[in-house]
Structure 1
Amino acid sequence: MESSSSCRPNEVFISFRGEDTRKNFVSHLLSALKDRGIRTYFDEDNLQKGQTIGHELVKAIEESSIAIVVLSCNYVSSTWCLDELVKIMECKNKIESGLIVFPIFYHVNASDVRWQENSFFEAFSIHEVNFKDDGEKLKSWREALTQVANLAGEEIRGQNEASCIKSPV
């Protein structure tokens, strides 16, 4: 009998902030995963500001075995990335999901993510103004960031990016 994870259409879902990582680290990561024959969901469409994450993206997260979250300095400035992260962490926390989450701290400290400091603090200051009437959304974003920062992952700072691909792959 096949396990449910072997029936999943994508083995890996990559969450990232495009302006920070799409043309460098994430493109190397995607290439390495594809070279190894690993089915990967990679959203190549330009997302419109103000949109909520769509049904297709939610389904892709739910049907993946692993989520790689590339946390960069501008990741938290995107409400789309934050909503995606909340969904990823919800799936991880469901026992039946079995989703494995692997964070990559791309030129950021895990502690900045955990405590929303430095660029994360600045972005949240803006979110607190824009979402002042939606305390639950702000709380869910903060909790998801804290949870992902508490996971073992990879820190990438000043190394050759191509060599850093080996660990997540």
Structure 2
Amino acid sequence: MASTSSTRPSYDVFISYRGKYIRDGFVSHLFNAFQQKQINAFLDENHCKGEDISLALLATIEESYVSVVIFSQNYADSSWCLDELVKILGCRKTLGQIVLPVFYHVDPTDVQELTGNFGEAFTIAKHGEELKGCLDGVEQWCHALMEISIIKQWDSRNFKLHMF
């Protein structure tokens, strides 16, 4: 566990997502909504240059109250995103962190069963790890994806945009 000098976490919310197209769209709107409500959210752009990104991000996840995991079609092609997910679910178990999965144009069943475009993206990341000889990591990812897909969630396909 990362040590902190204060008893309050560094961030209220850690946002886990993959890709520029989602960052410039959905995530930027979500981040702005958090700011308007004075909720301190973390995005990867908040990172201090020169820090070891992996250790700093893992500490940031651990020091947050809530993690919002936004599953898009290409989330699973990133071994780093999948490692973040494993860490997030570990913090849920050990620290009681709140985890809010959002399925953005992705069927939660595709995440749980590793099917559809999401399953294809996972295969890309999985093959990369198998080549590196990290089958334990792949098993952790599979378990994490199954676990998070059964947590109470938001599915973007169930919400309509309302224009005012």
Same fold (TM over 0.5): yes
How many residues end up aligned between the 2 structures? 152
Cα–Cα, structure 1 residues 162 and 140, in superposed 2: closer, same or farther, change >3 Å?
farther
- State the secondary structure of the residue aligned to 1:152: coil
Cα–Cα, structure 1 residues 66 and 139, in superposed 2: closer, same or farther, change >3 Å?
same
Matched, 1:102 2:103: no
Matched, 1:76 2:69: no
Percent of paired sites with the same residue? 38
- State the secondary structure of the residue aligned to 1:65: strand
Provide the residue aligned with 2:139 in structure 1.
139
- Give the whole-Å Cα distance in 1 for the aligned partners of 2:135 and 2:123: 13
Matched, 1:13 2:14: yes
- Give the whole-Å Cα distance in 2 for the aligned partners of 1:162 and 1:54: 40
CA deviations over 1:58-103 (Å, ceiling 9, x no partner):
1110000000000000000111111111110111111xx1200000
Provide the residue aligned with 1:62 in structure 2.
62
Provide the residue aligned with 1:37 in structure 2.
38
Provide the residue aligned with 2:122 in structure 1.
124
Q: CA deviation at 1:162?
A: 9.1
- Give the whole-Å Cα distance in 1 for the aligned partners of 2:53 and 2:107: 26
Cα–Cα, structure 1 residues 29 and 153, in superposed 2: closer, same or farther, change >3 Å?
same
Which residue type is aligned with residue 147 of structure 1? E
TM-score under structure 2 length normalisation: 0.84
Cα–Cα, structure 1 residues 15 and 108, in superposed 2: closer, same or farther, change >3 Å?
same
Unaligned runs of 5+ in 2: 1-5
- State the secondary structure of the residue aligned to 1:76: helix
- State the secondary structure of the residue aligned to 2:24: coil
CA deviations over 1:15-66 (Å, ceiling 9, x no partner):
00123410111000000000000011111179xxxxx961110111000000
Provide the residue aligned with 2:113 in structure 1.
115
CA deviations over 1:108-132 (Å, ceiling 9, x no partner):
0110011111112212322333222
TM-score under structure 1 length normalisation: 0.82
Q: Is residue 78–residue 125 contact of structure 2 (8 Å, CA) maintained in 1?
A: no
Unaligned runs of 5+ in 1: 47-51, 164-169
- Give the whole-Å Cα distance in 1 for the aligned partners of 2:25 and 2:125: 27
Provide the residue aligned with 1:166 in structure 2.
none
Cα–Cα, structure 1 residues 161 and 19, in superposed 2: closer, same or farther, change >3 Å?
farther
- State the secondary structure of the residue aligned to 2:44: coil
